[in-house]
């Protein structure tokens, strides 16, 4: 364990994305900072080898890149005049590559901690009151108490477990274990067809698993813009994913080393038999045992910590950020922004409040899905007069050159003021393209502003300009509406 100081300015509980960002910004602002995380793996228990990099999105994106290469070599490379024979897959090596990259990322974070003189320890931490933390470490015979002027709770979240599919991480896996399979299942089922389920399905489907997603919701990606979700449904089913909506799993059994899943839908009760089942039904906040009862930290019935718009809890000097609160979506970049925001509040630095209405959402599938702002159906339900511009990637020269033309860009603006209200993308590099839309909305830009922004040509970013131009029927690559 690192040598602890008698007192700290700030103690951050949690070394995930939000906790690391908060600790680093606190140290940059001259605050004596301690970060605590209860790491349960990693060769050096006092290192950050498992904390920041355990953010599931990093492992998912890393594996997806490998899966895309393998899939391209098997199916798409010949169209480029490139021929490869005897393509084979070494899954353990692929997993090792993923793990190595995550360790490298974590080592970088650990180096930043050292450079900023941030203390870090591996221990269980519990809030006793607004100034005192109790630390319980395996290598200490007794618990310690540490004081701080400010305490930031950033313990993030863990996968939700459900009674009908108890996780054993052998046959029934959670979403973290699903990134470390040692062999490709012939038949794979995923419980949940939302963000996490789709991301995992995209990986294992490309690597050769016959993949079925079961989701209790009747509508696919119901919170997304419906035009985008319809396009996603079409693309993913064409890729070989089997999407069974309105399917409520009622039981699972392990029989002869297979998982038998029983589910109900509008047609009755059904059963499927698979090699592995991944439970991807969401995440829950890691708030259990995070505070002592006498601390009187206010939580809701689902374990989320009550905070105000400045991430302050009901206890003076205690903040909560990231997945522990209901402010905004459970996204790493949202938590990181909150970490910086809270650190600057503590240091007395003026910082603009976080605008939760323009946080980008991304689903790391292939093609990617990304959006910011409001959906067309939400705006129409409110009676808002809007204009919509759509540009299919099939008309984009750069997408054509790469032969990756699935998807579209959709820009929604206020009919009266032309202010951008939402941008929705399905397509290659959507996670990168959305940044332009976020910046535009941060400065209350209009669709005309986006349309008149000069984009490099040829590029995927042209699609944003073209979608904006199409609002007024001025697209250069689009077929004019009066000709359709």
CATH code of the domain containing 77: 3.50.50.60
Boundary (domain end) residue, out of 356, 386, 420: 356
Question: Can you tell me the distance from the alpha carbon of 334 to that of 344, in angstroms, rounded to the nearest whole number?
Answer: 16
Give mean pLDDT, residues 441-450.
97
- Tally of CB atoms within 10 A around 205: 23
Boundary (domain end) residue, out of 223, 250, 281: 281
Residues 84, 228, single domain; the answer is no
Give mean pLDDT, residues 444-451.
97
Question: Can you tell me the distance from the alpha carbon of 91 to that of 72, in angstroms, rounded to the nearest whole number?
Answer: 16
Instruction: Note the pLDDT of residue 113.
Output: 95
Residues 294, 257, single domain; the answer is no
Q: With 80 as the cut, is the pLDDT of residue 140 above it? A: no
448 with 417: CB under 8 angstroms? Answer: no
Give mean pLDDT, residues 374-382.
97
409 with 433: CB under 8 angstroms? Answer: yes
Instruction: Note the pLDDT of residue 60.
Output: 93
Residues 347, 461, single domain; the answer is no
Q: What's the CATH code of the domain at 373?
A: 3.30.390.30
Residue 125 lies in a domain: yes
- Tally of CB atoms within 10 A around 314: 14
* Domain ranges, residue 188: 172-281
| Number of domains, the chain | 3
Quick one: pLDDT band at residue 42, thresholds 50, 70, 90? very low
Residues 384, 318, single domain; the answer is no
Give mean pLDDT, residues 252-271.
97
Residues 314, 260, single domain; the answer is no
Residues 61, 200, single domain; the answer is no
Residues 141, 189, single domain; the answer is no
Tell me the whole-structure pTM to 2 decimals. 0.93
**Which tokens is 168 given?**
């054993």
- What is the pLDDT of the chain when averaged over all its residues? 92
Residues 63, 126, single domain; the answer is yes
Quick one: pLDDT band at residue 163, thresholds 50, 70, 90? very high
């Amino acid at each position: 364990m690192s040598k602890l100081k008698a007192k700290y300015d700030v103690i951050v509980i949690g070394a995930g994305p939000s906790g690391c960002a908060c600790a680093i910004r606190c140290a940059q602002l001259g605050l004596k900072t301690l970060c605590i995380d209860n790491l349960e793996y990693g060769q050096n228990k006092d290192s950050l080898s498992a904390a920041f990099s355990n953010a599931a999105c990093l492992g998912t994106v890393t594996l997806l890149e490998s899966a895309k290469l393998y899939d391209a070599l098997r199916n798409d490379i010949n169209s480029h005049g490139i021929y490869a024979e005897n393509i084979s897959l070494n899954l353990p090596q692929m997993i090792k590559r993923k793990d190595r990259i995550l360790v490298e990322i974590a080592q970088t974070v650990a180096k930043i901690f050292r450079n900023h003189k941030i203390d870090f320890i591996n221990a269980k931490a519990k809030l006793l009151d607004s100034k005192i933390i109790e630390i319980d470490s395996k290598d200490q015979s007794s618990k310690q108490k540490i004081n701080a002027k400010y305490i930031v709770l950033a313990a993030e979240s863990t996968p939700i477990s459900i009674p009908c599919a108890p996780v054993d991480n052998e046959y029934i896996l959670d979403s973290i274990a699903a990134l470390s399979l040692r062999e490709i299942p012939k038949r794979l089922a995923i419980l949940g067809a939302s963000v996490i389920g789709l991301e995992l399905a995209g990986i294992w489907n490309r690597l050769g698993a016959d993949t079925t997603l079961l989701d209790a919701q009747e509508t696919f990606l119901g919170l997304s813009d419906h035009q985008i979700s319809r396009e996603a449904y079409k693309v993913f089913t064409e890729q070989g994913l089997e999407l069974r909506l309105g399917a409520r799993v009622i039981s699972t059994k392990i029989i002869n080393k297979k998982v038998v899943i029983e589910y109900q839908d509008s047609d009755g009760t059904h059963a499927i038999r698979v090699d592995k089942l991944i439970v991807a039904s969401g995440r829950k906040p890691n708030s259990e045992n995070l505070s002592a009862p006498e601390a009187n930290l206010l939580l809701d019935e689902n374990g989320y910590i009550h905070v105000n718009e400045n991430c302050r809890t009901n206890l003076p000097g205690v903040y909560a950020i990231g997945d522990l609160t209901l402010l905004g979506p459970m996204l790493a970049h949202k938590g990181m922004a909150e970490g910086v925001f809270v650190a600057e509040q503590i240091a007395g630095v003026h910082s603009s409040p976080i605008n939760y209405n323009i946080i980008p959402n991304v689903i790391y599938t292939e093609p990617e899905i990304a959006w910011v702002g409001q959906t067309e159906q939400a705006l129409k339900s409110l009676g808002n007069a809007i204009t919509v511009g759509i540009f299919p990637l099939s008309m984009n020269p750069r997408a054509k050159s790469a032969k990756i033309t699935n998807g579209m860009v959709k820009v929604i603006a206020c009919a009266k003021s032309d202010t951008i209200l939402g941008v929705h993308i399905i397509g290659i590099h959507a996670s990168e393209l959305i940044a332009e839309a976020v910046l535009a909305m941060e400065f209350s830009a209009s669709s005309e502003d986006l349309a008149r922004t000069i984009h490099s040509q040829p590029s995927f970013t042209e699609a944003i300009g073209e979608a904006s131009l199409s609002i007024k029927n001025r697209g250069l690559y689009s077929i004019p509406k009066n000709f359709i």
